[in-house]
Amino acid sequence: MLTIKTKIWHVDKDVDGQNPIIVEIGDRLRRGEVIAFPTETVYGLGANAFDSDAVRKIFEAKGRPSDNPLIVHIAALEQLDELVTHVDEKSRLLMERFWPGPLTILFPRKGKISELVTSLPTVAIRMPDHPIALAIIKAAQIPIAAPSANRSGKPSPTKAEHVWQDLKGKIDGIVDGGSTGYGVESTVIDLSGDRPVVLRPGGITLEQLQAVIGEVEIDPALLQKEDRPKAPGMKYAHYAPDAEMWLIQGEEEKVIQEINRIAKEKLDEGKKVGILTTKEHKDQFQQAAHKVLAYGRRDDLAPLAQNIYDALRQFDQEKIDFILTESFPETGIGLAIMNRLKKAAGGNILKV
């Protein structure tokens, strides 16, 4: 693939839609360029959802498997008309309550969307809650297909510099709007079956969804009881740091002991060891590893979600080759955090 010049624009969060930079970025997207921009979850890599040549560039830049469909981003409800054939009652309730925000809903699709965005009968749509993202989509006057702006398989980007690390020379531009908010991606929900199913836990929690539409299930594939998923597809690592990573689950005291024990064993083997932990536990790992990162607090998981991908990337930057992490209760935003940690660990889970 040819190297292209990747432009960088610095844009303030309180930017207005008339701003010449926003107008220019909207024009570029409409004309088929591929540009990364911040959303309230993670940075997205945007392209015109009606333009197959533009969408193809997303897959090439990311090295993304072509059968993995993209989320289409809109800035106004009227845009749904040209994208979907039908909006059911529960979807309507969810949109009223959570849009703009980190909830992606699957709808029956209309034909105009590029086959490369989705070749399924459904299209995933969300309205991001970020002033820059909304201004750009409005200026572009088209729906924007956008996956997370990372190399496929790597941790998602929560800062413009993460996008730069992964995609410089491969995309037309990056809009730097500072750090994103939630730090984990949107929740993806499928309402096409008998019962609503969460396909990916994210910024909007299961409990929040249930409060609005009643019963909601989690995709059984996400709740593997075995330590290692049996289906080959589920083994595919996502959000993965370069290092081998292990997630230790169990009672807090035992988890701390076990992390210390394994860390020592790996240090003795000559490995460069990293520990991903919390402010509450950090002191108990002094001397145990080359890098101990406390990326939040156990008693307040939202900031932890914000920092999770940045923490994984820091280990990569420091060439850590073995990471140990504690685990969290799978309620509230903890469900999304644990899903990402399990994936990052590629199914390496140790129960103590």
**Residue ranges in contact with ligand TXA by CB under 6 A:** 39, 41-42, 44, 68-71, 102, 104, 106, 118, 120, 122-124, 128, 146-148, 185-186, 188, 199-200
CB-count exposure of residue 223 (10 Å: 0-12, 13-18, 19+): exposed
Give the one entry of Mg ion, ligand TXA, none that residue 68 binds, where binding means its C-beta sits below a cut-off of 5 to 8 angstroms depending on kind: ligand TXA
Residue 112 carries which side chain, given as an amino acid letter? Answer: K
Which is nearer to ligand TXA, 200 or 313 (by Cβ)? 200
Which is nearer to ligand TXA, 101 or 274 (by Cβ)? 101
Give the one entry of Mg ion, ligand TXA, none that residue 313 binds, where binding means its C-beta sits below a cut-off of 5 to 8 angstroms depending on kind: none
How far, in Å, are 24, 211, 225, 228, 340 from residue 334 at the CA level? 39, 17, 17, 20, 10
CB-count exposure of residue 1 (10 Å: 0-12, 13-18, 19+): exposed
Stretch near Mg ion under the rule CB under 5 A, chosen from 141-149, 205-213, 255-263, 277-285: 141-149
Which is nearer to ligand TXA, 116 or 245 (by Cβ)? 116
Q: In whole angstroms, how close is the CB of 318 to ligand TXA at the nearest point? A: 25
Which is nearer to ligand TXA, 239 or 246 (by Cβ)? 239
Which is nearer to Mg ion, 154 or 281 (by Cβ)? 154
Give the one entry of Mg ion, ligand TXA, none that residue 248 binds, where binding means its C-beta sits below a cut-off of 5 to 8 angstroms depending on kind: none
Q: In whole angstroms, how close is the CB of 203 to Mg ion at the nearest point? A: 14
Asked if 331 and 184 count as a contact pair (C-beta separation under 8 A), the reply is no
Q: In whole angstroms, how close is the CB of 189 to Mg ion at the nearest point? A: 17
**Which candidate, 73, 45, 260, places its Cα nearest to that of 162?**
45
d(CA 285, CA 303): 21
Asked if 189 and 198 count as a contact pair (C-beta separation under 8 A), the reply is yes
Give the one entry of ligand TXA, Mg ion, none that residue 25 binds, where binding means its C-beta sits below a cut-off of 5 to 8 angstroms depending on kind: none
Which is nearer to ligand TXA, 240 or 292 (by Cβ)? 240
d(CA 12, CA 29): 19
Give the one entry of Mg ion, ligand TXA, none that residue 42 binds, where binding means its C-beta sits below a cut-off of 5 to 8 angstroms depending on kind: ligand TXA
Which is nearer to ligand TXA, 22 or 259 (by Cβ)? 22
Does position 148 interact with Mg ion (CB under 5 A)? The reply is yes
- The arrangement of strands across the sheet holding 44-48 comes to 7-10, 173-176, 35-37, 44-48, 144-145, 71-73, 122-126, 103-108, 187-190, 197-200, 217-218
Start-end of H helices in 107-205: 131-140, 160-167
Does position 186 interact with Mg ion (CB under 5 A)? The reply is no
d(CA 187, CA 303): 17
Binding site for Mg ion (CB under 5 A): 148
